[in-house]
Amino acid sequence: MAQAQDADHKRVVEAAKAISDIRAGQTTIPVVLTGRIVNGKVQIDQHVLDEIAKNHANANGVFIAVNAPFDTKTTVL
């Protein structure tokens, strides 16, 4: 249990650093996720999942939603 918490904490710290680096202009966003929320669940567009699988074959499917809670009524084009 402690190892899982340590791993989760490490991921959160890494994500926070990545967000800080992006905001400071020190790096770019490597992946853009698009999709929708259906019945309270996030559904990532298939073309995005295909692109991730192609470019990041060994990637794990984990992400942190920074802009939560999501605005489900606004359409962005």
Using alpha carbons, list the distances in angstroms from residue 18 to 1, 4, 41, 53: 26, 21, 25, 21
Task: Please give the mean pLDDT across all residues of the chain.
Answer: 76
Calculate the dihedral angle through the C-alpha atoms of 58, 35, 42, 28, rounding to the nearest 10 degrees.
50
pTM over 0.75: no
DSSP string for 1-68:
-HHHHHHHHHHHHHHHHHHHHHHTTSS--S----EEEETTEEEE-HHHHHHHHHH-TT-------TTP
> What is the predicted pLDDT for the residue at 43?
87
> What is the predicted pLDDT for the residue at 46?
92
- According to DSSP, the residues that pair with 41 across neighbouring strands are 38
Give residue-wise pLDDT tens across range 17-56: 888 887 887 876 667 778 888 887 888 889 888 888 887 7
Give residue-wise pLDDT tens across range 53-62: 887 788 776 6
